[in-house]
Structure 1
Amino acid sequence: MKDSKNNKPRGMIKLSSIIKILMLLVLTAIIIMGTIGTSVVLGVFKKAPEIDPTKYRSQLSETSRIYASDGSLIETLVSDQFSEFVPIEEMPENLVNAIVAIEDERFYEHNGVDYKRVAGALVHDIKTRSFEQGASTITMQLAKNLYTSFSKSVVRKITDIYYAYQIEETLTKPQILEAYLNSAGFSKGTVGVQAAAKTFFSKDVSDLTLAECALLAGVTNLPEKYTPYNTQLIEEGDDLGNIEVVLLPKNENSEPNSDKTIEIAKNLNELGKIDSFDLIQVKNDLLMPVKAVFNETSKERQKKVLKKMLEQNLITEADYEQALNEEIEINIGSRKESGISSFYTDVVQKNTLKILKNSGYSEEEASNKLFNGGLKIYTPMDIKMQKTLEDVVANPKYYYGVFRDKNGIIQPQVASVIIDQNTHEVKALVGGRNVSGGRLLNRALVPRQPGSAIKPISVYLTAFNNGATAGDVYLDAKMPEKLFGHSPRNAGNYYQGWTTIRNLVRQSSNVGAFQVARDISADKDARVNRNSTYSKSYNDEESINKMIDTLKSIGVSTIVEKEDNPVYNDMAYAPLTLGGMSYGISPFEMAGAFTALSNEGKYADPYVVTKIESNTGEIIYEAKPVEKQITSKQNAYILTDMLRDVVRRGTGKNAAFSGQDVAGKTGTTNDKKDVWFVGYTPYYTCSVWIGNDKNQRLSFGSTQSAYLWKQIMREIHEDLDRKEFEQPDGIYTKYVNGRRELFVDGTTPNYTNKLGWRRSSESTTKKTTKKNDDNNKNSNNDNSKSSKSSKSSKSKSSSSKSSSKSSKTVTNNND
């Protein structure tokens, strides 16, 4: 009998064979899919950038902070998020346990990936066709926070797993938790548990209660849903004294703040809920006050967290019940010192960026480091002094002719800078009044025409360095047009006749400043100069260059030279003696320049950044002022003594206050568009500028800037012992022009022989004044206008004429 298998119909296949074939196909598919999957995974691994988990601290985004001289926080530099690193040792155990319980209960058991959780999440995601449950462990979330992104994709998930294993191999579990708790988002722009604790509860993370820890731990799952508070409009029935106020920034599409909103803001200001600068921003439609209301949804999430902690024996039943029943109080933390504008810190930020770029950072890197590098920036700001300065300049009683410009900014405006001349520290600075917010016009840094305030630092400082003395004699009278083409005029047409440099300074003589400037290069012993009313042997170019060199040496950076602009520049007497410069000098640089006089002739660049520390405590910058001797101690003292006269009995009498020695100089420009007082005591140097932003005429002169200076400095010196400027050795006294004058040893007054010409010159002065009055009717009080620069180069001819030509239509001083 034949084999039965030969009796089977052809073309028929056993069922078992079909199953085997199917299994083989499935296996083949699995192998193929596995191969493809492995290739994809390996490709992802290969493309993933290399990481060094040990340097996780450098990967954490951390907000930089600015501190005052006493170590108190001035401002937290929040751009888009607020973060502050805290070591895990300072975190409450309850907070760490709460995060582990709700986020990754097998955290201490797995090596980066929880496969049990992955399987459950995979089933859920297949059913729902979504990525709702990613099964991310704390380690994988850390990888996402530091190295990948928040996009939902398979590639990102694979990369997170890859990095998670590397992190687990490198870091300890506490280090992983520390990194995660400092990088997790907690809503409202806060990153990390320290920032969250300060934002929502206004306390350090170490002080959080169990209930607060559980509440924060619940936020990270869905930050905007479980945020501790939401904002609502403030209503009429609200008790303004007992609400938590949040100031929301407005954008260009926002509705303007209503009168009701502004009235609410005024009431909040009176209650101390917002400061005056916040109120200004509300009025200027930059901020809107709203109230923070506790989010009940976060309470439901908190209960779940507490339940998880109880189930995992991380808290007791009693702890659980107590935390459930604890009332959560939202207390919005402040990120800046109240009562202080941003002008000072704006300069700090600008200088910090410059420091970082000088250290090798690109502009983008420096900006990122400034806002997200966790820098600790220490400044010399004196908080009390800054607030005093802010309060005084904000008082409307010091300004007349007040109006608002087309942008709603109040005019006139003001700027003031206070420097400790002994250390070169900028102690306080304001760049405006009744304005607030970010990216403001900082008038402390804006050059304005200095008027006569330039004379001590351009003309007289340079002249003293070139042989001039306080007793040198000059004719304070209108200069003859036939000789000079045009004469600068003194304020009020007041002239003193033959007098000394001291009196020229005291009365802010424009004619005198012009003549002293010409004589910087002159041989004062030459007969042709001693026997002539006006020097005939001098070199204009040399005198002008020396004044420019002096100004540059004391920090003035806005001088326009011929190579900058061959036609309109500051290489002439009018700009350098009367202050009609092309751009002018900023209040910051004016205050700095005068420290060369107040600090015994020594100058160093004033600074607003004392020290910068990295987020790990490394000192990456420290200010080390480099002093240079601009003039001798003796010259500095005599110049200071002359400026004391300005305050005692000259144009600066409004600056005098009892209890301190005061020296300084007024300055008023053409048509009273800028008024100045720059002065100093043995303690501090301070500049005050007042003017309209658009250069309109003011309704007052420099007597008002001197008065404002007095109000500022009197308050700042209130608790300070009286000091006098100390006279150094190397000075003697001698009678000149009827008074005892100070001289540096080895020097003698120049041109004293001309004092005998007093009587005849007075007659000449009267005639000249009468002759020139009609010609000068259209001239401003002390406008040199187009005084032509002398082209004479040490001419010995008695008939040589000095012609001065200004760089442009000049704006000059009025005092």
Structure 2
Amino acid sequence: MDPKTKTNTGGKPVKKAKQSPPALKFIKTVFKILFIMILALMFAGAGIAGGMLYGYISTATPITAEDLAFTQNLTTKIYDRDGNEIDKLTGYDNQDRILVFDKDGEIPQYLKDAIVAIEDERFYNHNGVDWKRTIGATINYFVPFGGSFGGSTITQQVVKNITGDDERTPRRKVQEAWRALQLEKRYEKWQILEAYMNLVYLGNSCYGVQSASYKYFGKPVKELSLAQCASLAGIIQTPGKYDPFTEEGRKNNKKRQELVLGKMLELGKISQEEYDLAIKDDLEFIEKSTVKATSNKVNSYFVDQVIRDVLKDLVASGLDEEYAKLKLYSGGLTIKTTVDMDIQNAMDQVFKDPENFPGGEKQGYTPQAAMAIIDPKTGEILAMYGGSGEKTADLTLNRVTQMRRAAGSSFKPIAVYGPALDQHLITAATVIDDVPVYMNPQKPEQRYPVNFAETINGVYARHYRGLISIRTAVQRSVNVVAARVWKDILGGDLSFEYLKKSGISMEGEGKYVSIAMGGLSNGVSPLQMTAAYVPFVNEGIYMEPITYTQVLDNDGSVLLDKKKTESVKQKQTIVYDEATAFVMTDLLRSVTASGGTASYVKLTDVNGKSIPCAGKTGTSEDDVDRWYVGYTPDFVAAVWYGYDKNITVELPSGSRNPAANIWMKVLQNVYDSEKLESRDFEVPEGVVKKQVCAYSGKIPTELCSKDPRGNAVRTEYFIKGTEPRGNDKCDVHVSAKIDIHSKDLFGRPLLATEYTPLNEVEERVFILRREPYKPKNPGDPYPLDWKYELPVEYSDRYTSPPKVENKKPAQSSPSGESSSDGTSPNNDGSQNGKKGENGLSDFINRLGETLQDIIKPDNDRNTD
């Protein structure tokens, strides 16, 4: 080519090469780069996706044979503490779920076909995952373009119901699909469909087609017509929308039923004639469930509670609640309970006797009661009864565990005295002044709290005793003392802390002084009260109450163990020092001793020997709730008595606390049936005995034994180190000379003056308050011990020296009389002779001696 002419050797001109515009070149380059990047991203994405899939699958737990054990209709058996079978669970769950089994011919073919047609028409052809629907659902998840692409098959829905995992995430869908594939490899289609029909939710608390059939049609599923089967199957998609119990729901249900029938016709599951007849069938739904158990046997309150406890613990161990129910009722479990049937029968006998439920029907309510007995060394519940009379249904209200009521004074030992003793803030001998107080901040003008009314010295009133010991306050259930200890000595924080350690949560309760008397907003259950007293007889240790010890799976492996399984392990908490627990027990023994509020509570052993009893009565405001919580060295038990509604318990005059009466009868039956011998509460190390004065709590003096009410010297138990020592002697008892013929307006003696003749003077013992009682309001009553206080007024009978006639000496007396002692009074009141020289000085000295004799505490003698 000639560069000059731009021609080739043939002489023809050469065409100039066509050049692409620069913009086009750039676009092509970008597309090439993007194409390469997309390919790279696709390969990378595939790798990431593959890794994610592997991760999802590797962490998925497959459905096991045990997970579907309920399809075998395995019976769960319940045993007592001695290994005797006491009950069986055969699939009936309080009428919320009733299992049906295809192999037993309980499921009509119409229902199976209806469910498959509307929920998963390719169910019998896929291997657990319908890939066509799954791909459509997946694309729609990432690139929504309308339409419904439910990807879950019946098998996948079984997986979801068993695992309880319903998150809308790729991870869950991948794991669900993999589990479904594994499930299909291990089970036949009929087994999977059967499981689905027992798991599926159909509204109105119905789980499974059998309970729904009873709920909506009032008959077992095997009696359903084609039209009814289609209606039932139609509910599954959206139970609320197709609810037969609402007018709108019935209309929707009919439309849905026709859709199901049409799908069945399309798939060849029914003929045209069957379709036509079913479409015309008038669906008749009942208004409410009429599910009936197949057996007349009713579970006991104890078995009901075992069911609740095991179900709760299965869920706590990681199972979905619905699956846990199926596992419990049809998983072939072995449940080892704590019940002692001899003790349970002894309790049943009392609770089924109407004579033990005085008061009668009020406002349509009958008197009720609830009781639990616990072995204090293990926390195992030995027996319980949750209502009066015969139990007539399963899983009814169990007042032992499901009722919360105000505890009244039975709360004092665990909210006030036990904690205060343990903190060494009080002793059993500590003296508190039981006088009118005003402790209600909302109503400062109102006297609060007041003591319960009782008859003392023939007078029925709300008395105040004055200076009394903690022992007397516990024995007589004195509200004022409990309130003063709680508010002024212990404090709400410590009280709540001890209650929490005793198994009673005070969440939602205000720190008001009413807590000291058991005035609770939320209340406590009889089981909580029983368990809270366990530390008093168990060396200060709280044991969480339990109804079972072990649950075994159908293959014999341990599923739950209350001693070992971490998620359900029995809790144990040190509440009190061992010495505290004993001292509190000895205080509570005073309640059942002479003078106590439950002095009539007595038990005897097989040999007729008295059994030591300790306990506390309790009555809530307006006598709505009556309690007795008590124990022996062998058992702890609490009884509540009242009405389900807040109605005053009215009893015949002179009647005993009905709760204490039931407690005593049950425990006596127990000791009779168990043939147990009496044994005493053991005194632990760290407890000492000491003589004290009952009205000062200190070391007694000679005067303490001369208290006008009787000998005030008592022998008391103390936590070592808290007993009075050294010169800590009684300063309450004092002696004074009184005029035996003078009294004030209230009949109290008046002090003798220095001029009171000796034959009209008597030295007596009185009490002297450290803080004199001063009524806040004019109407406030004085404490009962007010009449024993040291008088402050002198008799006015002899206020000056006796007048003596001025006589001359005997030798010069006109009358010949002389002074009997050879002296004669002077005009200034002095007398002649040896006393007359210093008459005024002698008078002053004698006056000082007399004043010293008026108040003469004797602190020189230790009678301990």
Q: Normalized against structure 1, the TM-score is what?
A: 0.53
Matched, 1:622 2:561: yes
Letter in 2 for 1:713: L
Q: What stretches of structure 1 move > 6 A for 4+ residues in a row?
A: 51-54, 148-154, 159-163, 222-225, 285-290, 480-484, 761-767
**Residue 415 of structure 1 corresponds to which residue in structure 2?**
370
Pick one of 663, 667, 670 that aligns with 2:614: 663
Give the CA deviation at 1:491: 1.6
Within a 5 Å distance, the mapping from 1:120-519 to structure 2 comes to: 155=122, 158=125, 341=300, 343-403=301-361, 405-406=363-364, 410-434=365-389, 435-445=391-401, 446-467=403-424, 468-479=426-437, 486-492=447-453, 493-519=462-488
Matched, 1:714 2:668: yes
Structure ranking higher in helix proportion: 1
Aligned with 1:433: secondary structure? coil
Aligned with 2:548: secondary structure? coil
**Residue 679 of structure 2 corresponds to which residue in structure 1?**
723
Give the CA deviation at 1:289: 11
- Deviation track 1:30-81 (CA, whole Å, cap 9, x = no partner) reads xxxxxxxxxxxxxxxxxxx9x9999545423144333322231324252344
Aligned with 2:400: secondary structure? helix
Q: Contact conserved, 1:690 with 1:705, CA < 8 A, in 2?
A: yes
Q: Contact conserved, 1:69 with 1:378, CA < 8 A, in 2?
A: yes
CA distance in 1, matches of 2:770, 2:686: 39
Q: Contact conserved, 1:469 with 1:749, CA < 8 A, in 2?
A: no
**Residue 857 of structure 2 corresponds to which residue in structure 1?**
none
Matched, 1:574 2:586: no
Give the CA deviation at 1:761: 6.2
Within a 5 Å distance, the mapping from 1:39-78 to structure 2 comes to: 56=65, 58-61=67-70, 62=73, 63-71=75-83, 72-76=85-89, 78=92
**Residue 644 of structure 1 corresponds to which residue in structure 2?**
589
- Deviation track 1:375-400 (CA, whole Å, cap 9, x = no partner) reads 32221011222222122122111222
Matched, 1:634 2:573: no
Give the CA deviation at 1:629: 1.8
Letter in 2 for 1:555: G
Q: Contact conserved, 1:651 with 1:703, CA < 8 A, in 2?
A: no
CA distance in 2, matches of 1:482, 1:547: 18
Q: Contact conserved, 2:381 with 2:547, CA < 8 A, in 1?
A: yes
* Cα 1:404/1:728, change in 2 over 3 Å: same
Give the CA deviation at 1:752: 6.8
Letter in 2 for 1:475: D
* Cα 1:744/1:355, change in 2 over 3 Å: same
Give the CA deviation at 1:640: 0.5
Give the CA deviation at 1:681: 0.8
Relative CO higher for 1 or 2, CA cutoff 8 Å, sep ≥ 6? 1
- Deviation track 1:163-204 (CA, whole Å, cap 9, x = no partner) reads 9xx99x999xxx99xx99x99x9xxxxxxxxxxxxxxxxxxx
Letter in 2 for 1:424: G
Matched, 1:742 2:717: yes
Aligned with 2:92: secondary structure? coil
Letter in 2 for 1:574: S
* Cα 1:510/1:370, change in 2 over 3 Å: same
Aligned with 2:468: secondary structure? strand
Q: Contact conserved, 1:420 with 1:426, CA < 8 A, in 2?
A: yes
- Deviation track 1:295-325 (CA, whole Å, cap 9, x = no partner) reads xxxxxxxxxxxxxxxxxxxxxxxxxxxxxxx
Q: Contact conserved, 1:596 with 1:603, CA < 8 A, in 2?
A: yes
Pick one of 682, 691, 695 that aligns with 2:642: 691
Q: Contact conserved, 1:597 with 1:636, CA < 8 A, in 2?
A: yes
Give the CA deviation at 1:621: 1.1
Q: Contact conserved, 1:378 with 1:610, CA < 8 A, in 2?
A: yes
CA distance in 1, matches of 2:531, 2:492: 21
Letter in 1 for 2:598: G
CA distance in 1, matches of 2:676, 2:388: 27
* Cα 1:365/1:764, change in 2 over 3 Å: same
* Structure (1 or 2) with the larger CA radius of gyration: 2
* Cα 1:66/1:769, change in 2 over 3 Å: farther
Q: Contact conserved, 1:674 with 1:691, CA < 8 A, in 2?
A: yes
Q: Contact conserved, 2:375 with 2:381, CA < 8 A, in 1?
A: yes
**Residue 555 of structure 1 corresponds to which residue in structure 2?**
503
CA distance in 2, matches of 1:775, 1:544: 29
Pick one of 549, 557, 565 that aligns with 1:610: 549
**Residue 138 of structure 1 corresponds to which residue in structure 2?**
none
Give the CA deviation at 1:426: 0.8
Q: Contact conserved, 1:455 with 1:513, CA < 8 A, in 2?
A: yes
Give the CA deviation at 1:600: 1.5
**Residue 327 of structure 1 corresponds to which residue in structure 2?**
none
Aligned with 2:657: secondary structure? helix
- Deviation track 1:566-612 (CA, whole Å, cap 9, x = no partner) reads xxx4311122x111111211111000100011212111211112111
Pick one of 516, 535, 539 that aligns with 1:600: 539
**Residue 317 of structure 1 corresponds to which residue in structure 2?**
none
- Deviation track 1:386-420 (CA, whole Å, cap 9, x = no partner) reads 222122122111222211654xxx51111111111
What CA RMSD, in Å, does the superposition of the two structures yield over aligned residues?
4.9
CA distance in 2, matches of 1:499, 1:133: 81
**Residue 733 of structure 2 corresponds to which residue in structure 1?**
756
CA distance in 1, matches of 2:373, 2:326: 30
Letter in 2 for 1:490: N
Pick one of 523, 529, 533 that aligns with 1:590: 529
Give the CA deviation at 1:519: 4.4
- Deviation track 1:56-115 (CA, whole Å, cap 9, x = no partner) reads 45423144333322231324252344799xxxxxxxxxxxxxx9xx99xxxxxxxxxxxx
**Residue 657 of structure 2 corresponds to which residue in structure 1?**
703
Where does the alignment leave 5 or more consecutive residues of structure 1 unmatched?
Answer: 1-48, 85-98, 104-131, 135-143, 186-221, 226-251, 253-284, 291-331, 522-542, 777-815
Give the CA deviation at 1:671: 1.3
**Residue 140 of structure 1 corresponds to which residue in structure 2?**
none
Give the CA deviation at 1:627: 2.5
* Identical positions, percent: 29
Letter in 1 for 2:496: I
**Residue 6 of structure 1 corresponds to which residue in structure 2?**
none
Alignment length (residue pairs): 502
CA distance in 1, matches of 2:494, 2:556: 46
CA distance in 2, matches of 1:479, 1:763: 17
CA distance in 1, matches of 2:662, 2:617: 12
CA distance in 1, matches of 2:574, 2:388: 36
Give the CA deviation at 1:288: 11
Give the CA deviation at 1:482: 13
Q: Contact conserved, 2:334 with 2:551, CA < 8 A, in 1?
A: yes
